A and B are shown apart, each in its own frame.
Chain A
Amino acid sequence: ECNSFILRKAEPKDVSDILRLIKELAKFEKMEEQVILTEKELLEDGFGDHPFYHCVVAEVPEHKQSSDGYTVIGFAMYYFTYDPWIGKLLYLEDFYVMKEFRGYGIGSDILKVLSETAVKTRCSSMHFIVAEWNKSSIEFYKRRGASDLSDEEGWRLYAIDKDDLLKISAKKR
């Protein structure tokens, strides 16, 4: 059983655990090959002059470590975005707790800590995306009052990759 865990701000030393957990989550989302981020980038981008993200990690004591010997067993990555209608928002990019540590309220507490951060930093809202087939995650969020803006308002996510960005930016007027 596991009710001794702590949540804390990630530090530079955590980047290898963070990358490990990112890859585990990507595997769960059936997109493991898409993770091209490296520890070096995570370090520069999270702990350099201009952080592109913030991270909270969940840690258990040594005697409760995972079956493969890890004590950092969950994380959430977020950053601040902007809605021209309501101002600052907290955007939850990734949120994951290792399978063997689920059911102990760790995920729930992470979400509460992030909500508290959102309120303290004057954010009107916390936004995130979920894959529609991910029923258990959708249930988790809806139980806590989340609304689905894609269903309710018809928003669709679009992306333009580097190659096309280069084409767009190079065109002369």
Chain B
Amino acid sequence: MKFKVRAARKEDCKDISRMIMELAVYEKMPDQVKISHEELERDGFSPNPFYECLIAEVPDEHKTKDGYTIVGYALYFYTYSTWKGRSVYMEDLYVMPDFRGKGIGKGLMAKVAQVGVEKQCVRLQLSVLEWNKPSLDFYVSKGAEDLTAKEGWHFLRFDGQTLDTLAKEAPKD
């Protein structure tokens, strides 16, 4: 099946939002999606974007049952490692179930890797849920190493009330 991987445009945000929800459902956390295509448009397509996105598109004759031709996406941004410098972090990689097994996931990831290399990034990082065996296998086959297992890294977070409380206690200048 022919498909095209290209940089997302502002008008693609509705499709990206649709697929973000589909991925959240797959990860068993749909109620955690709090933003819509409007925030995506504002945060990804302003003079100072907070992320970049690639989409995978199929020709009209292969569109989905609901009439969509955008069938996958990869959302990423640049991070910084104090040890190695510029890195690229692939936050989401998703292909609609009916379009898997056709190299679309590989194609999206290859383009993220290419963008990263062009921007002189030394590494691509991502996080995967430990039960997500198909994804773990996919990434490991591409050379990914589990740094949580190897080096013991855990993800921590301050949010909501805890973040506000800390913020209120900040020393004044």
Binding site for B on A (CB under 8 A): 7, 22, 25-26, 31, 34-37, 41, 45, 52-53, 77, 79-88, 91, 93-94, 109, 111-113, 115-116, 118-120, 124-133, 138, 141, 144-151, 153-169, 171, 173
- Would A168 and B152 count as touching, CB distance under 8 A? no
**Are B80 and A79 in contact, CB atoms less than 8 angstroms apart?**
yes
The answer for the CA separation of A117 and B49 in the assembled complex, in Å, is: 18
When distances are taken between beta carbons in the complex, the residues of chain B under 8 Å from A163 are 143
Q: Report how many A-B pairs have Cβ atoms within 8 Å.
A: 262
CB contact between B163 and one of A91, A119, A157 (< 8 Å): that residue = A119
Q: Does B127 contact A (CB under 8 A)?
A: yes
Bound Cα distance A112, B34 (Å): 25
A85 and B130 in contact, given A111-B166, A160-B144 (Cβ under 8 angstroms): no
A77 touches B80 (CB 8 A): yes
Bound Cα distance A173, B86 (Å): 27
Residue contacts A-B, CB under 8 angstroms, 14 given: A7-B171, A45-B86, A82-B51, A85-B20, A87-B35, A93-B79, A130-B156, A156-B147, A158-B127, A158-B144, A159-B145, A162-B123, A165-B116, A173-B106
B11, CB-defined interface residue at 8 Å: no
The 8 closest A-B pairs by CB, nearest first: A164-B143, A145-B162, A115-B166, A125-B159, A150-B154, A116-B170, A169-B113, A169-B114
Q: Are B167 and A112 in contact (CB under 8 A)?
A: yes
Residue of B nearest to A146 (CB): B156
Answer whether A162 and B155 are a contact pair too, CB < 8 Å, given A156-B128, A156-B130: no
Bound form: Cα–Cα A118–B166 in Å: 10
Are A22 and B113 also in contact (CB < 8 A) when A82-B75, A115-B163, A129-B156 are?
A: no
Residue of B nearest to A38 (CB): B85
Chain B residues, Cβ within 8 Å of A77: 80, 82
Beyond A37-B81, A124-B34, list 17 extra A-B contacts (CB 8 Å): A31-B151, A34-B83, A80-B50, A84-B20, A87-B43, A87-B50, A126-B158, A130-B154, A132-B153, A138-B154, A149-B156, A159-B147, A160-B123, A162-B123, A164-B143, A168-B109, A169-B110
CB distance from B154 to the nearest CB of A (A): 4
Is B143's CB under 8 angstroms from A167's CB?
yes
